[in-house]
Amino acid sequence: MTNRWPVPNNGSPPFKGIPTMRNLADSLDSSITQEVATITGEQDNGWLVASSRGPVRATRATSCLLEPALGDRVICAFTATGQAWVLAILERRSTTVNQLSVDGDLEVRVNEGRFSVASAHGIALSTPKEVQLASASVAVNTITADVVVQRLTYLGRYLQSEVKRVKAVAATFDAVLGRFSQRVKRSYRTVEEYDCVKAKQIDYVAESTISLHGETTMMTAAQLVKIDGAQVHVG
């Protein structure tokens, strides 16, 4: 197997003058300088910084998640070819809202432990598209809650609610049930117009009194009408 570089036979050290990986790294490091600069404006999807080199256009480094703002004191990296990057933001004197910004998809993953977000003045989530939430369980504890939706669909196997008072207002209410059961202490219902019940069999049982009253009361049967009691008063 032959060497890529010929070994000199004149007594000089081998590979003299041939660039090594260390020399290349040192050369690269020496071509990049860092200094503190100030953001003075925006230019061509980048930032204009004031440095010892004068006004220079710099782009935000991928590792710098905080979006720069006018007046920020930053650390910039400069190359000999004229490229510049904003590496980090050192100081912010303005009242600009701190914004974490990335280009493309972003995934935050915690392999072990919990992930917590805390804020003293509220948390807002906003997206023009879909929000997905998947977990083994969800617990919400709040004093008040307001939900405004155009359409809500709920699919589940069991629903249980315990509340002190329920008030609902709807233009139309439709329900299809296999069985409907209620147990109440007192029941009051007011129907302003028409009340219709259609059933195969109806059974009313009262321990004390049943009272039916109307301006006109009619009772008809196709086959049999039976009235039975210890006393029957008509008229």
SS (H, E, C) 10-45: CCCCCCCCCCCHHHHHHHHHHCEEEEEEEEEEEECC
Span 35-64, average pLDDT = 92
The pTM (predicted TM-score) of the whole model is 0.60
Q: Report CA 148 to chain centroid distance, whole Å.
A: 15
Predicted confidence at residue 22, as pLDDT, reads: 54
Q: Which residue has the tokens 């007046």?
A: 71
pLDDT at 11 over 70: no
- Domain annotation covers residue 83: yes
Residue span of the structural domain in which 36 resides: 32-91
Tokens of 62: 């991928």
- 5 domain-assigned: no
Q: Cβ distance 53 to 80 under 8 Å?
A: no
Measuring CA to CA, which residue among 88, 80, 110, 79 is closest to residue 39?
88
In 62-217, the DSSP E strands lie at: 73-79, 84-91
Please state the domain count of the chain.
1
Residue 135 domain-assigned?
A: no
